[in-house]
Amino acid sequence: MTGFMDLVRRDIRLAMRQGSGIYWTLMFFLLTITLFPLGVGPEQAILGRIATGVVWVAALLAAMLSLDRLFQADYEDGSLELLALAPVPMEIIVLAKCTAHWITTGLPLAIAAPFMGMMLNMDPAGFLILTGTMLLGTPVLSLIGGIGAALTVGVRRGGVLLSLLVLPLYVPTLIFGVIAVDEGVNGLGAQPHIMLLSAMLLGAIALAPWASAAALRLNME
Protein backbone atom coordinates (compact mmCIF):
# COMPACT_ATOMS: atom_id res chain seq x y z
CA MET A 1 0.00 0.00 0.00
CA THR A 2 2.83 2.44 0.78
CA GLY A 3 4.40 1.46 -2.53
CA PHE A 4 1.13 2.34 -4.23
CA MET A 5 0.90 5.75 -2.57
CA ASP A 6 4.58 6.52 -3.23
CA LEU A 7 4.17 5.74 -6.91
CA VAL A 8 1.02 7.86 -7.20
CA ARG A 9 2.81 10.77 -5.49
CA ARG A 10 5.87 10.36 -7.73
CA ASP A 11 3.83 10.35 -10.93
CA ILE A 12 1.78 13.38 -9.91
CA ARG A 13 4.95 15.26 -9.02
CA LEU A 14 6.46 14.33 -12.39
CA ALA A 15 3.33 15.45 -14.23
CA MET A 16 3.28 18.77 -12.31
CA ARG A 17 6.92 19.58 -12.94
CA GLN A 18 7.28 18.29 -16.48
CA GLY A 19 5.93 20.92 -18.86
CA SER A 20 2.69 21.43 -16.92
CA GLY A 21 0.74 18.50 -18.37
CA ILE A 22 -2.51 19.42 -16.60
CA TYR A 23 -2.73 22.82 -18.31
CA TRP A 24 -2.16 21.26 -21.69
CA THR A 25 -4.98 18.81 -21.15
CA LEU A 26 -7.32 21.60 -20.06
CA MET A 27 -6.24 23.84 -22.93
CA PHE A 28 -6.91 21.04 -25.40
CA PHE A 29 -10.33 20.50 -23.78
CA LEU A 30 -11.18 24.21 -24.11
CA LEU A 31 -9.89 24.42 -27.70
CA THR A 32 -11.93 21.42 -28.84
CA ILE A 33 -15.04 22.89 -27.19
CA THR A 34 -14.39 26.19 -28.97
CA LEU A 35 -14.30 24.47 -32.36
CA PHE A 36 -17.86 23.15 -32.06
CA PRO A 37 -19.79 26.45 -32.07
CA LEU A 38 -17.52 27.59 -34.91
CA GLY A 39 -18.37 24.48 -36.89
CA VAL A 40 -22.03 24.01 -35.99
CA GLY A 41 -23.02 27.68 -35.78
CA PRO A 42 -23.67 29.94 -32.79
CA GLU A 43 -27.39 29.16 -32.41
CA GLN A 44 -28.10 28.76 -28.70
CA ALA A 45 -30.83 26.13 -29.02
CA ILE A 46 -28.72 23.77 -31.13
CA LEU A 47 -25.68 24.24 -28.90
CA GLY A 48 -27.75 23.52 -25.81
CA ARG A 49 -28.99 20.28 -27.33
CA ILE A 50 -25.58 18.94 -28.24
CA ALA A 51 -23.68 20.40 -25.26
CA THR A 52 -23.52 17.25 -23.12
CA GLY A 53 -22.25 15.11 -25.94
CA VAL A 54 -19.71 17.69 -27.07
CA VAL A 55 -18.31 18.12 -23.57
CA TRP A 56 -18.03 14.36 -23.12
CA VAL A 57 -16.37 13.77 -26.50
CA ALA A 58 -13.91 16.61 -25.93
CA ALA A 59 -13.07 15.29 -22.47
CA LEU A 60 -12.57 11.81 -23.90
CA LEU A 61 -10.15 13.09 -26.52
CA ALA A 62 -8.31 15.22 -23.97
CA ALA A 63 -7.95 12.23 -21.64
CA MET A 64 -6.57 10.18 -24.54
CA LEU A 65 -4.05 12.85 -25.50
CA SER A 66 -1.70 12.10 -22.63
CA LEU A 67 -2.15 8.31 -22.65
CA ASP A 68 0.90 7.54 -24.76
CA ARG A 69 3.10 9.08 -22.05
CA LEU A 70 1.56 6.87 -19.37
CA PHE A 71 4.21 4.14 -19.60
CA GLN A 72 6.35 5.39 -22.48
CA ALA A 73 8.54 7.81 -20.51
CA ASP A 74 9.26 5.25 -17.81
CA TYR A 75 9.87 2.60 -20.45
CA GLU A 76 12.40 4.74 -22.30
CA ASP A 77 14.48 5.82 -19.32
CA GLY A 78 14.42 2.34 -17.81
CA SER A 79 12.55 3.15 -14.59
CA LEU A 80 9.75 0.79 -15.65
CA GLU A 81 12.17 -2.15 -15.43
CA LEU A 82 13.23 -1.05 -11.98
CA LEU A 83 9.57 -0.81 -10.97
CA ALA A 84 9.05 -4.32 -12.34
CA LEU A 85 11.85 -5.57 -10.09
CA ALA A 86 10.25 -3.96 -7.02
CA PRO A 87 8.44 -6.22 -4.52
CA VAL A 88 5.15 -4.54 -5.45
CA PRO A 89 3.18 -6.61 -8.00
CA MET A 90 2.95 -5.22 -11.51
CA GLU A 91 -0.84 -4.97 -11.27
CA ILE A 92 -0.56 -2.55 -8.33
CA ILE A 93 2.03 -0.51 -10.23
CA VAL A 94 -0.36 -0.24 -13.18
CA LEU A 95 -3.21 0.74 -10.86
CA ALA A 96 -1.03 3.42 -9.24
CA LYS A 97 0.05 4.85 -12.57
CA CYS A 98 -3.56 4.92 -13.82
CA THR A 99 -4.64 6.63 -10.60
CA ALA A 100 -1.98 9.28 -11.07
CA HIS A 101 -3.01 9.68 -14.70
CA TRP A 102 -6.61 10.15 -13.62
CA ILE A 103 -5.72 12.73 -10.96
CA THR A 104 -3.76 14.75 -13.52
CA THR A 105 -6.28 14.47 -16.39
CA GLY A 106 -9.71 13.07 -15.50
CA LEU A 107 -10.18 15.00 -12.27
CA PRO A 108 -9.38 18.45 -13.74
CA LEU A 109 -11.54 17.63 -16.75
CA ALA A 110 -14.49 16.69 -14.52
CA ILE A 111 -14.13 19.91 -12.56
CA ALA A 112 -13.83 22.01 -15.72
CA ALA A 113 -16.74 20.26 -17.49
CA PRO A 114 -19.62 22.42 -16.10
CA PHE A 115 -17.82 25.59 -17.20
CA MET A 116 -17.51 24.18 -20.69
CA GLY A 117 -21.20 23.28 -20.47
CA MET A 118 -21.96 26.92 -19.61
CA MET A 119 -20.14 28.08 -22.75
CA LEU A 120 -22.35 25.78 -24.80
CA ASN A 121 -25.64 26.89 -23.22
CA MET A 122 -26.13 23.60 -21.40
CA ASP A 123 -29.11 23.25 -19.06
CA PRO A 124 -27.76 24.18 -15.57
CA ALA A 125 -29.80 21.31 -14.08
CA GLY A 126 -27.33 18.94 -15.69
CA PHE A 127 -24.11 20.43 -14.26
CA LEU A 128 -24.01 18.37 -11.11
CA ILE A 129 -24.81 15.11 -12.93
CA LEU A 130 -22.22 15.97 -15.59
CA THR A 131 -19.46 16.36 -13.01
CA GLY A 132 -20.65 13.26 -11.18
CA THR A 133 -20.73 11.04 -14.25
CA MET A 134 -17.37 12.38 -15.35
CA LEU A 135 -15.91 11.60 -11.93
CA LEU A 136 -17.17 8.02 -12.43
CA GLY A 137 -16.38 7.77 -16.12
CA THR A 138 -12.92 9.30 -16.51
CA PRO A 139 -11.20 6.71 -14.27
CA VAL A 140 -12.62 4.05 -16.61
CA LEU A 141 -11.01 5.92 -19.49
CA SER A 142 -7.65 5.98 -17.68
CA LEU A 143 -7.84 2.27 -16.84
CA ILE A 144 -8.90 1.07 -20.30
CA GLY A 145 -6.47 3.51 -21.89
CA GLY A 146 -3.77 1.97 -19.72
CA ILE A 147 -4.28 -1.35 -21.52
CA GLY A 148 -3.77 0.34 -24.89
CA ALA A 149 -0.75 2.27 -23.59
CA ALA A 150 0.79 -0.91 -22.18
CA LEU A 151 0.24 -2.82 -25.43
CA THR A 152 1.87 -0.12 -27.56
CA VAL A 153 4.67 0.79 -25.14
CA GLY A 154 7.49 -0.55 -27.30
CA VAL A 155 5.98 0.51 -30.61
CA ARG A 156 7.48 3.36 -32.59
CA ARG A 157 4.90 6.08 -33.31
CA GLY A 158 2.32 4.20 -31.29
CA GLY A 159 0.05 7.22 -30.78
CA VAL A 160 -2.28 6.62 -33.72
CA LEU A 161 -2.35 2.89 -33.08
CA LEU A 162 -3.20 3.63 -29.45
CA SER A 163 -6.25 5.68 -30.42
CA LEU A 164 -7.41 2.97 -32.83
CA LEU A 165 -7.15 0.37 -30.06
CA VAL A 166 -8.71 2.44 -27.32
CA LEU A 167 -11.49 4.52 -28.89
CA PRO A 168 -13.89 1.63 -29.66
CA LEU A 169 -13.51 0.48 -26.05
CA TYR A 170 -14.45 3.97 -24.81
CA VAL A 171 -17.90 3.87 -26.41
CA PRO A 172 -19.94 2.46 -23.48
CA THR A 173 -18.54 5.04 -21.06
CA LEU A 174 -19.40 7.85 -23.45
CA ILE A 175 -22.92 6.55 -24.07
CA PHE A 176 -23.86 6.07 -20.42
CA GLY A 177 -22.20 9.34 -19.41
CA VAL A 178 -24.22 11.33 -21.93
CA ILE A 179 -27.51 9.48 -21.40
CA ALA A 180 -27.27 9.94 -17.63
CA VAL A 181 -27.07 13.73 -18.00
CA ASP A 182 -29.81 13.92 -20.64
CA GLU A 183 -32.25 11.74 -18.69
CA GLY A 184 -31.43 13.62 -15.50
CA VAL A 185 -32.29 16.93 -17.14
CA ASN A 186 -35.46 15.49 -18.67
CA GLY A 187 -36.60 14.32 -15.25
CA LEU A 188 -36.45 10.62 -16.15
CA GLY A 189 -33.81 9.98 -13.54
CA ALA A 190 -30.10 9.51 -14.04
CA GLN A 191 -29.77 6.81 -11.41
CA PRO A 192 -29.75 3.64 -13.58
CA HIS A 193 -27.07 5.05 -15.85
CA ILE A 194 -24.99 6.25 -12.94
CA MET A 195 -25.21 2.76 -11.46
CA LEU A 196 -24.13 1.24 -14.78
CA LEU A 197 -21.18 3.65 -14.91
CA SER A 198 -20.24 2.65 -11.38
CA ALA A 199 -20.42 -1.01 -12.39
CA MET A 200 -18.11 -0.33 -15.32
CA LEU A 201 -15.70 1.50 -13.03
CA LEU A 202 -15.61 -1.40 -10.56
CA GLY A 203 -15.19 -3.90 -13.40
CA ALA A 204 -12.39 -1.84 -14.92
CA ILE A 205 -10.58 -1.52 -11.57
CA ALA A 206 -10.80 -5.28 -11.13
CA LEU A 207 -9.89 -6.43 -14.64
CA ALA A 208 -7.94 -3.75 -16.55
CA PRO A 209 -4.73 -3.85 -14.42
CA TRP A 210 -4.32 -7.58 -15.16
CA ALA A 211 -4.38 -7.00 -18.90
CA SER A 212 -2.09 -3.95 -18.69
CA ALA A 213 0.37 -5.74 -16.43
CA ALA A 214 0.47 -8.76 -18.75
CA ALA A 215 1.13 -6.46 -21.71
CA LEU A 216 3.87 -4.57 -19.86
CA ARG A 217 5.61 -7.76 -18.76
CA LEU A 218 5.52 -8.99 -22.33
CA ASN A 219 6.99 -5.76 -23.69
CA MET A 220 9.86 -5.80 -21.20
CA GLU A 221 11.01 -9.33 -21.99
Partner 1 sequence: MRVSGAFLPWLAAITAALLAWGLYDGLLVAPPDYQQGETVRIMYVHVPSAYLSMMIFGTMAFASAVALIWRHPVADIAAKASAPIGAGMTAAALATGMLWGQPMWGTFWVWDARLTSMLLLFFIYLGYMALWAAIDDPERAGKAAAILALVGSVNLPIIHFSVEWWNTLHQGPSVLVSGGSTIEGPFLRPMFIMIGAYTVFYFTVLIWRMHQEIIARRIRSLRLLQAQG
User: In the complex, what is the shortest distance from the CB of residue 171 to partner 1, in angstroms, rounded to a whole number?
Assistant: 5
Question: Could you tell me which stretch among 13-21, 100-108, 130-138, 144-152 binds partner 1 (CB under 8 A)?
Answer: 144-152
Q: Quick count: other Cβ atoms within 10 Å of Cβ 183?
A: 18
115: Cβ–Cβ under 8 A, 6 or more apart, which residues? none
Residue from 22, 172, 198, 205 touching partner 1 (CB under 8 A): that is 172
Whether the Cβ atoms of residue 10 and residue 84 lie closer than 8 Å to each other:
no
Question: Could you tell me which stretch among 18-26, 32-40, 118-126, 169-177 binds partner 1 (CB under 8 A)?
Answer: 169-177
Q: Cα–Cα distance between 195 and 2 in angstroms, integer?
A: 31
Site membership for partner 1, residue 200 (CB under 8 A) = yes
Q: Cα–Cα distance between 27 and 35 in angstroms, integer?
A: 12
Question: Could you tell me which stretch among 1-9, 24-32, 55-63, 159-167 binds partner 1 (CB under 8 A)?
Answer: 159-167
Site membership for partner 1, residue 84 (CB under 8 A) = no
Let me know the angle formed at the C-alpha of 109 by 89 and 111, rounded to the nearest 5 degrees.
Answer: 110
C-alpha dist (Å) from residue 195 to 109, 156, 173, 176: 21, 39, 12, 10
Site membership for partner 1, residue 63 (CB under 8 A) = no
Let me know the angle formed at the C-alpha of 192 by 186 and 194, rounded to the nearest 5 degrees.
Answer: 90
Please count the residues of this chain forming the interface with partner 1, following the rule CB under 8 A: 25
Residue from 159, 165, 198, 205 touching partner 1 (CB under 8 A): that is 165
What number of residues does the chain have?
221
Question: Could you tell me which stretch among 22-30, 48-56, 111-119, 146-154 binds partner 1 (CB under 8 A)?
Answer: 146-154
Residues lying near partner 1 in the complex (CB under 8 A) are found at 147, 151-152, 154-155, 158, 161, 164-165, 167-169, 171-172, 175-176, 179, 200, 207, 211, 214-215, 218-219, 221
